[in-house]
Amino acid sequence: MKGSIALASDHGGYELKEDIKEYLAQEGYQVQDLGPASQESVDYPLFGSKIAELVSRGKVERGVLICGTGIGMTIVANKYPNVCAALCHDQYTAFMSRRHNDANILVLGGRILGKGLAREVVKTWLETEFEGGRHSRRLEQIKDLEQRLGIKK
């Protein structure tokens, strides 16, 4: 069994969420689907915050969020402490979001990516390790900035 991953979407990401859920289960990950359970219109902040909360509190190691463009979910998730949510459109952005940014939430645009590409993006993201070194220093600088601005305490 591989690690556990929580995922959620809004209606714009629902169809892709269902496909990614199937893919992750096939690959041996423990998957927690936090909804929604249908394509009915819902508000992305409500679903994005469920995943961001779990990741922020260390209840789950990684999260995947999907809305229409991925933009709304990224904005919501990045409000949370200890969360780095990266909107990725291809394998390169997925690879770099792990190597340089140590992203712990992957965000996808359900109205942007086809299922085949989205699966490849998820695979790359899950299998890529953080590079550390100078990138750790930069992540520390972001944490300092958050403290100074009084956000994400």
**Would you tell me which residues interact with ligand RB5 (CB under 6 A)?**
10, 12, 44, 67-69, 71-72
Q: How many CB atoms lie within 10 A of CB 22?
A: 13
Active-site hit among 84, 89, 100, 135 = 100
Of 66 and 126, which has the nearer Cβ to ligand RB5? 66
Rounded least distance, CB 116 to ligand RB5, Å: 21
CB of 129 to ligand RB5, least distance (A): 29
Residue with nearest beta carbon to ligand RB5? 72
Closest approach, Cβ 58 to ligand RB5, in A, equals: 26
CB nearer to ligand RB5: pick between 29 and 50: 50
135 is catalytic: no
Active site residue 84: no
Catalytic residue (choose from 67, 84, 89, 135): 67
Which long-range contacts link 133-138 to residues 24+ away (Cβ below 8 Å)? 135/99, 135/100, 135/101, 135/102, 138/100
Q: Please check whether residue 139 is in contact with residue 102, taking contact to mean a CB–CB distance below 8 angstroms.
A: yes
Residues catalogued as catalytic: 67, 100
